[in-house]
Amino acid sequence: MRELELYFGPQHLGMVGNFSITLNVEGDRILKATANPGYLHRGFEKLMEGRTWIKNFPMVCRINVVEPDHMEMVYAMGVEKLAGIEVPERAQFVRSIYLELARVGSHLFGLWAYANMLGFDTVANWAMYHRDLVLDLFEELTGGRVYHIYIWPGGVRRDFPEGFTDRMVETLHSIGGCVPDYDSTFFNNTLFSERAKGIGVVSREEAVAMGGTGQAIRATGMKYDVRKVDPYAAYDKVAWEVHTREDADAYSRIWIVRDEMIESVHMIFNLIDAMPEGEVYNRIPNPLKWRIPAGETYVRCESSRGELGLYLVSDGGEKPYRVHFRTPSYSHGLTILEKALVGANIADVGNIMISLYVVAPEIDR
Amino acid sequence: MTSSLSTRLDATFKGVELGSGDDDRLAVSIPREAVVPVLTFLKEEGYDYLQLISCVDWIDRGEFELVYLLSFYTEDEVGGDGGKQDVLLKTTVPREQASAPTAIGVFAIAEPHEREIHELYGIHFEGHPRLTPLLLDRDYEIPPFRKDFDTKQYVADVFDRVPPVEEEG
Amino acid sequence: MDRNQLMKWIKTPTKMAHKYSLNAVYFCTGCGIIEVPPTITTRWDAERFGVVATATPRHANLFLITGYVSVKTLRAIIRTYEQMPEPKYTVGFGSCTINGGMYWDSYNTINQLDKYIPVDGYIAGCMPRPEAIFIAVTHLWTLIDKDMADGYKRYRKNYGAYRANQEMVLGELEWPPLFPTEIHTNTGEGETDATAATPTMTEREKDDELA
Ligand code: SF4
């Protein structure tokens, strides 16, 4: 049969995000896949070198539009570590709650993309609606729907407004009440399992060799989660579990997404109960003239797709000397995806890509 | 455990400088030629996870610094294997004719990282199978992440020079 | 159907049809795309306004350019735009399309979109809310009514200038020009006037002289 070269994306219905893959196919079997990123490259890390430490906060969240909050968090962690700033106890809890809420929102977005791609329009609409409810909470807390710029070095911008925790619990309960519906229409649906089982298998050896994190590694049965391995914020103060599966395919990864969402909601409830009173913010020096001692550091946190890291270098000036983000989609989208697509069917490209949770702006930065 | 790692590193390789790094990471400086052997050694020591390859342009010193951040996959909570530290491996490359050996043979994930550094800093990686453009579409005279590349000047020269398309009133 | 609009439907049926069936190309050009899924799903439901997402540019007449445009994406945007059948409308979503937004000094994003393709309207904001999309759509209706959403006509008319700008940034384009690049007098929609194809002055010079 003749070998063809196909361009998948950037303008393509099966493509979520501005990303492109060149596929060499024979019939509808993929012989070779070449990821072609860069459609969203803005040179963030260079631009950040030209802005002061504090001015970079509105920048960093725009690196990943699906989940801006973990970007803020990892940058704040880096700045705090270099400058030696302490974060009050209550702010740690507020941050954790906020990040878990972001994780729920991001997973719902992922579920929308996945269900939409498989043709489960009802489930996609539910997921998007429920995500909007989460965004409403963010809007109340921070004033922005998508970009929040809530985390600052030294804590968070403001404490929870009055009655916010109650409304948050109520919203999360109403979303959680729909889990049986999601299960019966989607997760336990044979259409879903037929379509996803055995698709896009990434074995543990492959995932380890290619720097896989997040669902990609947890779907192979390894309990690797930065929140456990290298705890930050208040993740070591409450009890929670890492969810894993054994089959390493798209089906396992999407089930992990579901389990993690439920775990996050439970974790939020626990965090709210354990939250101490107090300040949420330690004053930092005048941010407009803020110099941070020379040094370098690598900090990491667990975003909803895997390990998000930041290598930060300061030369003692008012601006960062070098910023480099290690984003989870980078390894998932460039090496693992190219590997997992070989031998797959064309119809499964979107399936594999979304189940690996590849978010294009994160790769390009 | 950690002290033994640093002593073993010191004993096995010439020119290894151990820094303290920050609290939970062992900083190691090595000459450029030793990158691949040291990475192989560390991989055998259980560092199976290359988090990041980064590059810093120290223009005053006239050199690039390549930074390899190594960690390990673990299932243990907090602290991993009895306080086993992550490693931050550094090597320097002169700015003129910058080139370094590729680490793909040891870690497959090095491939896109090195491709990106090649594109953004202009460092050549010997033995890398595809140093084709990854992110950029245009050619830049100076690779854009070098410190002497002035983005504002570039924008003024290229994008601001494009004339608006005139509209009739 | 609104009874007040009955006369409009009888007089200008095509215009009304274009207004109420805006098929948007599904192309995620920048971070603004994150507000499009909520807009087209149940919560905000853009279909009330006749806006639906379409898989291929060949079936679309609305191009929402959602945010910053990197050089590599510009190439894809131009190709997509040129594939859309006329009449087609472009809306720039977010401040990045207006003046570069927060990436004004980035070496890889073009700052003003309307130097490269014609834009019929902008939605300001860094991330505009879904409501803003609906305001833009209703504005676009007014513009279509008044024949002011004429970006595609301007593209045809000033194609030479647009293409020259595109080539300034992208280098030699690998596809042939969509229209004749020498500038000609436009005699209305869709017509190319062959006799006026060799002007002594370019359109731009003429305008300069008038000004
Ligand atoms: S205007 Fe703001 S939200 Fe829109 S693309 Fe630009 S940075 Fe992103």
pLDDT (tens digit per residue) in A166-177: 888 888 888 888
A117 beta partners? none
Q: Any chain B CB within 8 A of the CB of C162?
A: yes
Residue A179 neighbours by CB distance under 10 Å: 14
- SS3 of residue C199 by DSSP: coil
Q: Do B25 and A229 count as a contact with CB atoms less than 8 A apart?
A: no
- How far does the centroid of ligand 1 lie from the alpha carbon of residue C153, in Å? 28
Q: Do A229 and B77 count as a contact with CB atoms less than 8 A apart?
A: yes
**Of residues C106, C115, C171, nearest to B162 (C-beta):** C115
- How far does the centroid of ligand 1 lie from the alpha carbon of residue C128, in Å? 8
Q: CA B123, B128, B133: angle at the middle one, nearest 5?
A: 65
Highest-confidence segment of A319-328, B36-45, B97-106 = A319-328
Q: Any chain B CB within 8 A of the CB of C99?
A: no
Task: Kindly list the distances between the CA atom of residue C86 and the CA atoms of A13, C123, C142, C147, in Å, as whole numbers in the listed order.
Answer: 21, 22, 18, 14
Given a cut of 60, is residue A296 above it in pLDDT? yes
| Contacts (Cβ under 8 Å, ≥6 apart) of C176 | none
Q: How far apart are CA A104 and CA A126, in angstroms?
A: 14
The A322-326 sheet, strands edge to edge:
A295-303, A306-314, A322-326
Q: Any chain B CB within 8 A of the CB of C59?
A: no
Work out the average pLDDT over C23-37: 82
Confidence of residue C196 (pLDDT cuts 50, 70, 90): very low
Residue A82 neighbours by CB distance under 10 Å: 22
Alpha-carbon distance C16 to nearest alpha carbon in chain A (angstroms): 28
Where do the domains of chain C lie, and which CATH numbers do they carry?
A: 6-152 (3.40.50.12280), 154-210 (no CATH)
Q: How far apart are CA B103 and CA A269, in angstroms?
A: 45
CATH of the domain at A292: 1.10.645.10
The interface predicted TM-score (ipTM) is: 0.83
**Of all residues in chain B, what percent carry a pLDDT higher than 90?**
0
The protein residue with its alpha carbon nearest to ligand 1, atom 5, reads: C67
Q: How far apart are CA C157 and CA C179, in angstroms?
A: 9
Given a cut of 80, is residue A147 above it in pLDDT? yes
What residue numbers bound the domain in which A176 lies?
3-364
Q: Any chain A CB within 8 A of the CB of C158?
A: no
Could you read off the pLDDT of A32-76 as tens digits, one per residue?
Answer: 888 888 888 888 888 888 888 888 888 888 888 888 888 888 888
Q: How many C-alpha atoms does B111 have within 13 Å on its Cβ side?
A: 19
Atom of ligand 1 nearest to the CA of C102: 7
Q: Do C115 and B160 count as a contact with CB atoms less than 8 A apart?
A: no
| Contacts (Cβ under 8 Å, ≥6 apart) of C211 | none
Number of domains in chain A: 1
Domain-located, residue B75? yes
Most distant pair of Cα atoms in chain A: their distance = 70
Q: How far apart are CA A184 and CA A120, in angstroms?
A: 12
Please report residues of C whose CB lies closer than 8 A to that of A112: 37, 41
- How far does the centroid of ligand 1 lie from the alpha carbon of residue C68, in Å? 6
Q: Any chain B CB within 8 A of the CB of C202?
A: no
The whole-number pLDDT of residue A53 equals 85
Q: Which of A173-187, B7-21, C34-48 has the lowest mean pLDDT?
A: B7-21
Strand A295-303 and strand A155-156: pairing? unpaired
Q: How far apart are CA B107 and CA B109, in angstroms?
A: 5
Could you read off the pLDDT of C32-73 as tens digits, one per residue?
Answer: 888 888 888 888 888 888 888 888 888 888 888 888 888 888
Q: How far apart are CA C33 and CA C127, in angstroms?
A: 9
Q: Do B52 and A46 count as a contact with CB atoms less than 8 A apart?
A: no
Confidence of residue B78 (pLDDT cuts 50, 70, 90): low
Please report residues of C whose CB lies closer than 8 A to that of B151: 105-107
- SS3 of residue A341 by DSSP: helix
Mean pLDDT of chain B: 77
Q: Ligand 1: residues whose CB is within 6 Å? A: A 62; C 30-32, 67-68, 94-96, 101-102, 126-127
Could you read off the pLDDT of A254-293 as tens digits, one per residue?
Answer: 888 888 888 888 888 888 888 888 877 877 777 777 888 8
Measured between CA atoms, the residue of chain B closest to residue C153 is B167
Work out the average pLDDT over A130-157: 86
Task: Kindly list the distances between the CA atom of residue B10 and the CA atoms of B15, B25, B65, B84, in Å, as whole numbers in the listed order.
Answer: 8, 17, 21, 17
**Of residues A37, A43, A335, nearest to B109 (C-beta):** A335
CATH of the domain at B49: 3.30.460.80
Q: How far apart are CA C22 and CA C156, in angstroms?
A: 21
Number of domains in chain B: 1
| Contacts (Cβ under 8 Å, ≥6 apart) of C51 | C22, C23, C24, C39, C40, C62, C133, C137
